[in-house]
């Protein structure tokens, strides 16, 4: 098989046909090692981490040595095409081990069919993952012949009348010798989101199989990260969605993995990391530190029976982190009372999420609630959410207990029946942002007088604040819904072609994330109250444009009819500048809506806030 460099050269030189919606790309990435990239060229799911709509890959790896190991079969979205491709390779019938970095229902669906193709394979995973597998096959008995009384680590599970598979639980620092120098070393690196996380290092190739670390949701023909600079925004967005809320645990995982001399990172999603390995490692450490150094932080505690409450927690956490507030996520099922007590004591606000099981909240959530009621001071902001199948009493319990204790809520309690829809996840993200903004307002109220005096004496900030800007509203589209941003940080940048620059805060930058993104710059008229409408916070699920007269521009974005004029723009370049992104956009079209009137201008007393 041609090596990766030759493969990618051929792909660049040959005109490729229009890609399929789903396919599997196979390439050799090291000696005896293949990657199977199950690719979706469109957005795979509607969860927040896929919102950039760049597609994704589910990466599986096959090590073909004296013994054969398959690492991380994909989820059920790719089951059929993955197994069809796997059967084209002679080694599939000789698979000795199936290594699972983490377990979820989607992967179990593929595992069941895979074990029919490789019936003698041993499944390898961490102890928490093994418990999930036990529950998944609970309707079938364990084979007593495979469970020695004095050894609970190796056992078989019978999931069909004629199919029994072996399961082996590995501990941290365990090893597995596949022959020919391919000695695999395992590291247990649990996080709240993936409490069963297992990373694997191959001594022969120097490949570190990192699963959810160092990935990106982007689909392309490039197997490696040769053009890694173009991946920077996708990688940061992936980190913010998956790892920002669990930064302490990610940092601990990085310390454990630093003991390996890795030549490549083989993640679950996106390109193999070879050319930017050191850079991306430093970025992860820096991003973790940024999260932990933020002035405000929120404790987000939850359990999730079927994954639905966990999905809500991810969306809420995303809204909080995008608003510049740190989140510490705790899965109470895997956290002790001491850890929960410490996190609640150190936070500025806390949010508790729970499923409803048999009309009640799980014991772990009742314990966390008791700790919160006894630990958290009454000036801390609170929030509750949860999913349910029939009644939803758990959310009512949380709300009533916290309300009776005198806590103030940062958003209206969120109740979602069964699996959340895209609209409901957007409401959760908006609720997280609302919680963060309320926290910031409270922080200003409780700020010590000395800090206020220091801020007022900041002459530099006052001087910079005297720079006035035209007050505008940027309208754009994201996930087929209109978005709006009020800004005054706009300036003409070029004559020919006409172009503008806009500075956008990082929590809003995803709306203009991609080169080629289009938007409308609505320039407001002095003396109208439309600005106030775009300054107020939205309630979860509220339509920003419900009471505003608009019509679509030729690029599909909304024109505000009360604006003085508008410009239709296309993003051509972006540059990270401190706590903002500077965006250069080409002006494609424009129109003056009212010939009489002057532009609304924002005057600030300080450069430390809008």
Identify whether residues 419 and 517 lie together within a single domain: no
What is the Cα–Cα distance from 388 to 468, expressed in whole angstroms? Answer: 50
CB 95 within 8 A of CB 69: yes
Identify whether residues 345 and 427 lie together within a single domain: yes
- Going by their DSSP bridges, the two strands 349-353 and 381-388 should be labelled as parallel
What is the Cα–Cα distance from 336 to 449, expressed in whole angstroms? Answer: 38
> Which value, to the nearest 10 degrees, does the dihedral of the CA atoms of residues 276, 281, 287, 291 take?
160
> Which value, to the nearest 10 degrees, does the dihedral of the CA atoms of residues 92, 169, 60, 136 take?
90
Tell me the pLDDT tens digit for each residue of 256-266: 999 999 999 99
Segment 95-121 mean pLDDT: 91
CATH of the domain at 561: 2.30.110.10
Q: Is the pLDDT of residue 162 over 70?
A: no
**Angle made by CA atoms 383, 387, 391, in degrees to the nearest 5:** 110
Residue 254 domain flag: no
Segment 175-203 mean pLDDT: 94
Residue 251 domain flag: no
Residue by residue, DSSP assigns 220-235 as -S-SB-TTGGGGHHHH
Segment 333-338 mean pLDDT: 88
Identify whether residues 441 and 465 lie together within a single domain: no
Query: Where on the phi/psi map is residue 578: left (φ > 0), alpha (ψ -120 to 50), or beta?
Result: left
Of the residues 392, 415, 445, the one at which a domain ends: 445
Per DSSP, the three-state class of 279 is: helix
Total residue count of the chain as it appears in this document: 610
Tell me the pLDDT tens digit for each residue of 566-586: 999 999 998 888 778 899 999
pTM of the model: 0.68
Identify whether residues 197 and 334 lie together within a single domain: no
Backbone angles phi, psi at 71, to 5 degrees: -105, 120
Residue 216 domain flag: no
Residue 410 domain flag: yes
Q: Is the pLDDT of residue 209 over 50?
A: yes
Identify whether residues 466 and 553 lie together within a single domain: yes
What is the largest distance, in Å, between two alpha-carbon atoms of the chain? 88
Of the residues 211, 241, 275, the one at which a domain ends: 211
Mean pLDDT taken over the chain: 85
pLDDT score at 160 = 46
Tell me the pLDDT tens digit for each residue of 549-564: 999 999 999 999 999 9
Backbone angles phi, psi at 418, to 5 degrees: 60, -145
Identify whether residues 353 and 482 lie together within a single domain: no
Of the residues 445, 469, 501, the one at which a domain ends: 445
Residue by residue, DSSP assigns 102-165 as S--HHHHHHHHHHHHHSTTPEEEE-HHHHHHHHHHTTTS-B-GGG--TT--SEEEEEEETTEEE
Per DSSP, the three-state class of 24 is: strand
Residue 509 domain flag: yes
pLDDT score at 538 = 62
Identify whether residues 37 and 67 lie together within a single domain: yes
Tokens of 594: 């009212």
pLDDT score at 2 = 46
Tell me the pLDDT tens digit for each residue of 21-46: 799 999 999 999 999 999 999 887 76
pLDDT score at 580 = 84
Domain that residue 523 falls in: 459-602
Residue 529 domain flag: yes
Identify whether residues 126 and 91 lie together within a single domain: yes
pLDDT score at 135 = 77
Rounded to a whole number of angstroms, the distance between the first and last alpha carbons of the chain is 57
Residue 10 domain flag: no
Q: Kindly list the distances between the CA atom of residue 497 and the CA atoms of 93, 394, 585, in Å, as whole numbers in the listed order.
A: 60, 58, 10
Confidence band for 290, pLDDT divided at 50, 70 and 90: confident
Confidence band for 143, pLDDT divided at 50, 70 and 90: very low
Confidence band for 609, pLDDT divided at 50, 70 and 90: low
Identify whether residues 437 and 478 lie together within a single domain: no
CB 303 within 8 A of CB 331: yes
Q: Which residue has the tokens 């069919």?
A: 113
Identify whether residues 391 and 487 lie together within a single domain: no
Identify whether residues 480 and 337 lie together within a single domain: no
Per the structure, the count of domains in the chain is 3
Task: Tell which residue, 586, 591, 603, has the closest CA to residue 502.
Answer: 586
Q: Which residues contact 5 (CB under 8 A, 6 or more apart)?
A: none
Identify whether residues 42 and 163 lie together within a single domain: yes
CATH of the domain at 402: 3.40.50.360
CB 353 within 8 A of CB 302: yes
Q: Is the pLDDT of residue 521 over 50?
A: yes
CATH of the domain at 22: 3.60.15.10
Tokens of 142: 């364990």
Alpha carbon 497 to its chain centroid, in Å, reads 37
Residue 577 domain flag: yes
What is the Cα–Cα distance from 201 to 212, expressed in whole angstroms? Answer: 15
């Amino acid at each position: 098989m041609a090596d990766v460099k030759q493969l990618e050269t051929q792909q660049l030189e040959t005109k490729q046909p229009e890609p399929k919606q789903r396919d599997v790309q196979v390439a050799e990435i090291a000696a005896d090692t293949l990657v199977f990239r199950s690719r979706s060229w469109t957005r795979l799911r509607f969860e927040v981490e896929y919102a950039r709509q760049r597609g994704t890959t589910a990466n599986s790896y096959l090590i073909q040595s004296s013994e054969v190991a398959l690492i991380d079969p994909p989820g059920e979205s790719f089951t059929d095409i993955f197994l069809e491709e796997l059967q084209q390779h002679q080694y599939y019938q000789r698979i000795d081990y199936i290594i699972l970095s983490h377990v979820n229902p989607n992967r179990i669906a593929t595992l069941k069919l895979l074990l029919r193709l490789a019936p003698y394979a041993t499944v390898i995973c961490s102890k928490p993952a093994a418990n999930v597998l036990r529950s998944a096959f609970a309707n079938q008995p364990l084979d007593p012949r495979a469970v020695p009384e004095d050894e609970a680590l190796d056992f078989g599970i019978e999931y069909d009348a004629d199919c029994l598979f072996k399961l082996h639980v590995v501990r941290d620092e365990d090893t597995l010798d596949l022959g020919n120098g391919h000695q695999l070393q395992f590291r247990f690196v649990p996080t709240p989101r993936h409490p069963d996380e297992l990373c694997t290092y191959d001594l022969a190739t120097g490949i570190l199989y990192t699963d959810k670390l160092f990935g990106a949701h982007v689909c392309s023909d490039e197997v490696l990260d040769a053009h890694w600079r173009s991946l920077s925004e996708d990688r940061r967005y992936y980190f913010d969605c998956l790892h920002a809320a669990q930064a302490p645990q990610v940092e601990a995982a990085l310390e454990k993995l630093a003991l390996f001399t890795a030549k490549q990172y083989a993640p679950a999603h996106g390109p193999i990391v070879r050319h930017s390995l050191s850079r991306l490692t430093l970025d992860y450490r820096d991003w973790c530190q940024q999260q932990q150094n933020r002035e405000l932080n929120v404790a987000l505690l939850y359990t999730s029976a079927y994954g639905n409450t966990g999905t809500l927690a991810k969306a809420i956490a995303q809204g909080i982190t995008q608003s510049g507030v740190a989140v510490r996520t705790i899965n109470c099922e895997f956290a002790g009372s001491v850890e929960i007590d410490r996190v609640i004591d150190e936070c500025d606000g806390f949010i508790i999420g729970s499923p409803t099981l048999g009309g009640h909240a799980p014991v772990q959530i009742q314990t966390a609630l008791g700790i919160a009621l006894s630990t958290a001071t009454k000036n801390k902001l609170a929030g509750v959410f949860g999913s349910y199948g029939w009644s939803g009493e758990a959310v009512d319990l949380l709300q009533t207990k916290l309300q009776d204790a005198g806590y103030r809520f940062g958003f209206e309690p969120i109740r979602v029946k069964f699996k959340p829809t895209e609209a409901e996840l957007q409401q959760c993200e908006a609720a997280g942002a609302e919680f963060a903004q309320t926290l910031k307002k409270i922080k200003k109220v409780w700020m010590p007088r000395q800090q206020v005096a220091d801020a007022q004496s900041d002459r530099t900030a006052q001087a910079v604040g005297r720079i006035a800007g035209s007050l505008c509203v940027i309208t754009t589209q994201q996930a087929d819904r209109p978005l709006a941003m009020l800004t005054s940080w706009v300036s003409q940048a070029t004559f020919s072609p006409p172009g503008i620059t806009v500075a956008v805060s990082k929590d809003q930058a995803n709306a203009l994330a991609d080169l080629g993104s289009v938007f409308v710059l609505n320039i407001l008229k002095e003396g109208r109250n439309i600005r106030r409408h775009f300054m107020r916070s939205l309630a979860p699920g509220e339509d920003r444009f419900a009471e505003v007269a608009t019509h679509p521009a030729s690029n599909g974005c909304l024109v505000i009819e009360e604006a003085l004029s508008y410009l239709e723009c296309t993003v051509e370049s972006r540059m990270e500048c401190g706590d903002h992104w500077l965006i250069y956009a080409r002006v494609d079209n424009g129109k003056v809506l009212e010939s009489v009137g002057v532009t609304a201008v924002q005057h600030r007393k300080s450069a430390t806030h809008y």
